[in-house]
Chains A and B, each alone.
Chain A
């Protein structure tokens, strides 16, 4: 890989109870690129994603070994400020999860919890984030209506806007389109393409076409192991491993 990497893991292992869910994962995520993680259900893609912002901490009986370096700092170091970490690494979830508040309040939530109180500044951030998430034109007249009144695709873009509002460096996306129809999916994919100018995006997806369309790099995971990782083009056209080829050509999964 020629691009500079922003996150690197080495020998990352994770157990739920006795299940060895991630086995010795070493991967480098390039800065300002879109990296896709693909693989059959239960292979550990989402678990790996949730390691990057330490969201697995919330789950009982999870044990992690190995290192994850974010711009040269180990995020498992005892003194690590998890709150800061999660501000730097935003996340968009599988199902849109807007807060039961207004559209405006959803986007303003992040800046507010990080101490911004100035109304003018908040307005500016909300507008900019909604624009960047390609949602502003659709909701400019209903900023103060409940976010739950938006369509599923709009809710998901709202969640992206909410993530952008805290200006993360990396955005994790956990199957962001799995609950959406094809039109909404198309909008999100276009958005992802635009985002990589300012952000690093890591996306987990079930949909191989989607991975091929949006990503620069692809990692293929299987049964908790990272089988192969490289430029998307190379993975899809000329995989080195038989497992990868079998999966890509649809022989299992």
Chain B
């Protein structure tokens, strides 16, 4: 504070108004504050640089001992063979197949559901469906994996009469479910953001609602929907736990290649399975880091594409391009891609249908769809609308049904396991009996540490980006790295934590290593949430404060931050939920399966709920009740956290509107 003596002469309560030493001190403090926030903003850059550096460093022996070409193009992956063979093409193919399958299922469902929410749903239904979709996003991937392993694979095994249900199909279905919320919410935003004049204009010339949707709204939102699909794709590629638990993990190329009932193995699954038991510094270790580099490169590429598209949309919306140009452009693109996109989607679906259903049923459905497509011009607009709306509502219903089935299964089976002892005692007999208390505490410690680490860095970085800088090279660089960090698969964070924190900094497998790894993982979420919150504060408030002679920091602290708190809190709560549910980043850095005592120091490993569930589900036969109990506790914990976030957001949104 600038020291000024109250002085009652005249009206002047500011006497020392030209005290230059006070001004200098103030100036110095302002600079120091700015420097601190600049440093926090640099952590995002440092994080991504370190991640790349350490992954590449540890994978370098691949180049020397295996050679880049055999590594990338080899179709055999036998790390335990003699001699061991490391060819990751088979893993890349596995990843691509599972992901493509997931997209074939997820895209039509998501777009249907997005159209339903944006255009068809009555307000009350919309207010239920939207949070439900967000809950779907909140379910931890290990819980999906658990559900897939227990229910889905069993269903597939019985339905198709195959020896094991752990297949490409199971992986695709599960990944499709996990990609749904991403694609739905971004597509829905894109559709809702098409200016309402377009819609009104179309309706006003007598177009039906469906004509308006299919010819004005969807084409107008096309780039947003594309970005949504790409982001969903990126999320699916980087997903580890769920995929690893249901795909069977055999490193083979399906034969024939469209055999969705064949087991496959993905890049992420390989890391998840083998990283835990590999000798540090061996060729195998290097090869796994090579896998991580390839995985990172693929996801970064995919995500950058989505980010580029989304950014160009944002730019257009802020009016740097003319609106006219945009509709013509997207309209043209839409006409060009509509047919190939539909045919491609249809082929993929047909493959699934043929394999998944008895032949005659598949034939019937396929014939029906083809007939429908050919006859669509014979239908009048009213009939076409009725059919389209039926399909759209069906898509939304399927999505809700999936959510209901998952929740119902876990809640019904899990409730019987929950008791006071289960929540307050340690595990016995490898977790078959006893409770999960140390895992609850472990998860609590991990999350608390992660947030304590990420919150100041994230908020500081956002403050620097929004309040202190003009748009320039540095801000662009920081924003790009935040996007990159956001698109980095969680398993890659796990590997980085292992290489950098556990080995290089010599933290060992410890609570601290897990906290920092999780903290880095949620950092981009917090930065973005804070940025969004700061952006909504009108510039007129800042000007009002500065015009009164407040300093930059006084303005931020007293005027800008207080109304931004709800947004920051929401982002933080979402991060807590995400950190609590993640398995892959802590699997090699922080956790042990069984522990009798609570951890006394941050340099010791801990138990954690998601990892406990993973091990129970995959490695401990006959622990059925406790598995479900653990899944339920984890689910309730994460969903509870998400619900609070959703509530906080809507509560304050209402308040802001007055």
Contacts and interface: CB of A to CB of B under 8 A. Distances in A.
A159 B544 contact: yes
B276 interface: no
Most buried by A among B13, B550, B554: B13
Contacts of A98: 544
A162 B546 CA distance: 12
B545 interface: yes
A218 B380 CA distance: 68
Nearest to B1: A115
A84 interface: yes
A103 to B, nearest CB: 15
A85 to B, nearest CB: 8
B34 to A, nearest CB: 14
Interface in B4-38: 4, 6, 11-14, 17-18, 20, 23, 26-27
B547 A115 contact: no
A204 to B, nearest CB: 14
Nearest 4 pairs of A and B residues by beta carbon:
A87-B549, A91-B547, A97-B540, A110-B548
Interface in A112-143: 112-118, 121, 125, 128
A91 B545 CA distance: 10
B13 A167 contact: yes
Contacts of A109: 545, 548, 550, 558-559
Contacts of B549: 83-88, 110, 113-114, 166
Given A83-B549, A83-B550, A114-B2, 17 more contacts: A58-B542, A58-B546, A81-B27, A88-B17, A93-B540, A93-B547, A97-B538, A97-B540, A97-B543, A98-B544, A109-B558, A115-B3, A148-B658, A159-B544, A162-B544, A167-B11, A167-B12
B543 A87 contact: no
A162 B548 contact: yes
Nearest to B544: A97
A155 B562 CA distance: 20
Interface string A165-200: 011000000000000000000000000000000000
Contact of A83 (B20, B470, B551, B559): B551
B558 to A, nearest CB: 7
A100 B26 CA distance: 26
Interface string B357-394: 00000000000000000000000000000000000000
Contacts of B11: 128, 167
Interface residues of B, number: 36
A219 interface: no
Given A113-B554, A116-B6, A118-B6, A90 B548 contact: yes
B471 interface: yes
A196 to B, nearest CB: 16
A95 interface: yes
B467 to A, nearest CB: 11
A211 B46 CA distance: 57
A116 B4 CA distance: 7
B22 to A, nearest CB: 9
Contacts of A100: 541, 562-563
A55 B546 contact: yes
Nearest to A79: B20
A112 B4 CA distance: 11
Contacts of B4: 114-116
A99 B470 contact: no
Interface of A: 53, 55, 58, 60, 81, 83-88, 90-91, 93, 95, 97-101, 109-118, 121, 125, 128, 148, 159, 162-163, 166-167
A99 B563 CA distance: 10
Contacts of A128: 11
Contact of A87 (B470, B538, B548, B658): B548
Contacts of A116: 4, 6, 13
A47 B86 CA distance: 67
17 contacts: A55-B543, A58-B542, A84-B18, A91-B543, A93-B544, A99-B541, A109-B545, A109-B550, A109-B559, A110-B548, A110-B549, A111-B13, A113-B558, A115-B1, A116-B6, A125-B13, A166-B549
Contacts of A166: 14, 548-549
A55 B563 CA distance: 23
Nearest to B656: A100
B544 A86 contact: no
Interface in B519-540: 538, 540
Contacts of B1: 115, 117
A90 B546 CA distance: 10
Contacts of B658: 148
Contacts of A163: 547-548
Contacts of B26: 83
Nearest to B12: A167
A179 B558 CA distance: 26
A101 B559 CA distance: 9
Contact of A90 (B3, B540, B547, B563): B547
Contacts of B558: 109, 112-113
Contacts of B18: 84
A187 B189 CA distance: 44
B14 A87 contact: yes
Contacts of B12: 167
A58 B4 CA distance: 27
A213 to B, nearest CB: 25
